[in-house]
Chains A and B, each alone.
Chain A
Amino acid sequence: MVITFLQRLLWLVALVAAQMMVFNYIHLFGYATPLPYVFLLLIFPLNSSRWSILLWGFVCGLLCDFVSLTPGLGAASMTLTAFLQPLLLKAMAPKDSLEDMQASYSTLGLWGYVRYAGILTLVFMLTYFLLMSFSFFHIVDLAIAFASSWALTLILCMAIESVRSSKKKEREN
């Protein structure tokens, strides 16, 4: 229990720090800004209590907001994504999954994980960009920024998951 908490705390600190020091400065082609701190929500197992996911998501979003000077923006998006994460994981998990099943390439398969991560990051990025722009006035620019940021975030999340999976395998071996 305490170890799980500390692991999540470590992930939280690492993701917020990476966002603050690295990803906030990336504006690929002037449009794409990755927000991979949503990865924190992808690692919650199937039997996690919903209130804890919501709180972790909210706190993570809030911390990133403070370092990005966008109060409330990330917190609102992360809270909504955290609310949907258990429902999505339950819907996509194989029927014979263990109670503490965690989403990964090995449990969901490559395509299954891409769909899982794709949908959650999509929800997060869509909420984030809609709240940020708050209008459809520059809809083309908005669509380009959203799509490119989403793609970049998804790629980064999959890359982080690859690293996490490989490390996990090394520990198990």
Chain B
Amino acid sequence: MRALLEFLAKYYHWMIFIVLEVVSLVLLFQFNHYQQSLWLTAVTESVSRVHNAEAGVLRYLTLGRVNEELTRRNLILEYNLQQATRQIDLLSHDSTGTERLQADRMEGIDLIHAKVVTNSVMRRDNLITIDAGQVDGVRPEMGVVCGTGLVGIVFLTSDHFSIVLPLLNSRSHISCRLRGSEYFGHLTWDGGSALFAQLDDIPRHARFNIGDIVETSGFSSVFPPGLFVGKVEAIGNSDDGLSYKLRVHLATDFTSLQDVYVVAQQFQPEVHRLEQQADSLIKQ
């Protein structure tokens, strides 16, 4: 308190000066129309600039949410495109009841959004952790996709997190096919670049070209058919020489993976249960 009084005693003329200037300027802007209008114009412009800057910052801060929404939208559109293409194919060709039934079964897919918590691309067996778990409806064996393509399959789940076995893992085997044909194979990764994977077991009589699209085959309950995986980059032979081994340029950029969606298919638990029963019967 004493220090404050000393300060006021020492610099009181500053306060008088400021008060008198403020009074003068209030009079100036209050009773002179010219200055008043210029002042209002300047203030309005300044406030507009501040609001504009604020809006810019807010826009930047909400980019994450926008990106998330765009990823989801992109995925839905991609899926709808596949569905529409399939419908056109079914309607334009002599389709059978079985094909129609399969197309109908593709409906009812639920997408669970998740953020990538940890990710690696440098190891031989990479794993991805996402922030969605059993509470969110995620179960093992569910497929995981992002806005541009395939990511992997859910391996382990806890209440709030899940471990995903991505394409970039030596134990990953995903059934894929070449778009426009029914030739399918297994997509694997043998290390090296995170941009490329291999599509094995494509039969020798299959006809295709470099640049052809690789998509999911739908021959499992994990992924619906027609999800974009990548493009054929190079053609080679398998080790035994009985089939082709294609080098696939993956559509998913694993190095910048942020938003993913877990594909929860309506009939997956049922199919999975049946597959398990079949396995146990065969083993007996």
Q: Which residues of A contact B (CB under 8 A)?
A: 50-51, 54-55, 58, 61-62, 65, 70-73, 75-76, 79-80, 83, 131, 134-135
Q: Chain B: which residue is nearest A74 at the CB level?
A: B24
Q: Which of A70, A75, A134, A135 contacts B20 (CB 8 A)?
A: A75
Whether A79 contacts B32 in the complex (CB less than 8 A), given A51-B12, A72-B27, A135-B38, comes out as no
- The answer to whether B12 and A131 touch across the interface, beta carbons within 8 angstroms, is no
- The answer to whether B17 and A76 touch across the interface, beta carbons within 8 angstroms, is no
Q: Which of A51, A58, A72 contacts B25 (CB 8 A)?
A: A72
Q: Which of B12, B21, B30, B38 contacts A134 (CB 8 A)?
A: B38
Nearest 9 CB-CB pairings of A with B: A72-B28, A72-B27, A76-B24, A50-B13, A75-B24, A71-B31, A71-B27, A79-B20, A58-B20
Q: Which of A54, A73, A80 contacts B28 (CB 8 A)?
A: A73
Q: Which residues of B contact A76 (CB under 8 A)?
A: 21, 24-25, 28
Q: Which residues of A contact B26 (CB under 8 A)?
A: 72
Q: Chain B: which residue is nearest A58 at the CB level?
A: B20
The smallest C-beta distance from B97 to any residue of chain A, in angstroms, reads 81
Q: Which of A65, A72, A75 contacts B29 (CB 8 A)?
A: A72
Whether A134 contacts B13 in the complex (CB less than 8 A), given A75-B24, A76-B21, comes out as no
Interface membership of B16, Cβ < 8 A: yes
- The answer to whether A54 and B32 touch across the interface, beta carbons within 8 angstroms, is no
Q: Which residues of A contact B35 (CB under 8 A)?
A: 131, 134
Query: Which of A50, A72, A135 has the most CB atoms of chain B within a 10 A radius of its CB?
Result: A72
The smallest C-beta distance from B33 to any residue of chain A, in angstroms, reads 11
Contact with A along B20-48 (1 / 0, CB 8 A): 11011111111110110011000000000
Interface size on B, residues (CB 8 A): 20
Q: Which residues of B contact A55 (CB under 8 A)?
A: 16, 20
Pairs A–B under 8 Å by Cβ, sample size 19? A50-B13, A51-B12, A51-B13, A54-B13, A55-B16, A61-B24, A62-B24, A70-B32, A71-B28, A71-B32, A72-B28, A72-B30, A73-B28, A75-B24, A75-B27, A79-B17, A79-B21, A131-B35, A134-B39
Q: Which residues of B contact A83 (CB under 8 A)?
A: 13, 17
Q: Which of B13, B16, B20, B28 contacts A131 (CB 8 A)?
A: B28
Query: Which of B17, B26, B27, B35 has the most CB atoms of chain A within a 10 A radius of its CB?
Result: B17
The smallest C-beta distance from B7 to any residue of chain A, in angstroms, reads 16
Q: Chain A: which residue is nearest B17 at the CB level?
A: A83
Which secondary structure characterizes the binding site on chain A? Answer: helix
Instruction: For the complex, give the distance between the alpha carbons of A76 and B30 in Å.
Output: 13
Instruction: For the complex, give the distance between the alpha carbons of A131 and B20 in Å.
Output: 15
Instruction: For the complex, give the distance between the alpha carbons of A73 and B32 in Å.
Output: 9
Given contacts A72-B25, A79-B24, 20 further A-B contacts (CB under 8 A): A50-B16, A51-B13, A54-B20, A55-B20, A58-B23, A61-B24, A62-B24, A71-B30, A71-B31, A72-B26, A72-B27, A72-B30, A73-B32, A75-B23, A80-B21, A83-B13, A83-B17, A131-B28, A134-B35, A134-B38
Q: Which residues of B contact A79 (CB under 8 A)?
A: 17, 20-21, 24
- The answer to whether A72 and B32 touch across the interface, beta carbons within 8 angstroms, is yes
- The answer to whether B20 and A65 touch across the interface, beta carbons within 8 angstroms, is no
Q: Which of B24, B30, B39 contacts A58 (CB 8 A)?
A: B24
Q: Which residues of A contact B30 (CB under 8 A)?
A: 71-72
Instruction: For the complex, give the distance between the alpha carbons of A75 and B26 in Å.
Output: 11
Q: Chain A: which residue is nearest B37 at the CB level?
A: A134
Instruction: For the complex, give the distance between the alpha carbons of A94 and B75 in Å.
Output: 84
- The answer to whether B25 and A54 touch across the interface, beta carbons within 8 angstroms, is no
Instruction: For the complex, give the distance between the alpha carbons of A134 and B28 in Å.
Output: 11
Q: Chain B: which residue is nearest A131 at the CB level?
A: B28
Q: Which residues of B contact A70 (CB under 8 A)?
A: 32
Instruction: For the complex, give the distance between the alpha carbons of A61 and B38 in Å.
Output: 22
Instruction: For the complex, give the distance between the alpha carbons of A72 and B20 in Å.
Output: 10
Q: Chain A: which residue is nearest B12 at the CB level?
A: A51
- The answer to whether B16 and A51 touch across the interface, beta carbons within 8 angstroms, is yes
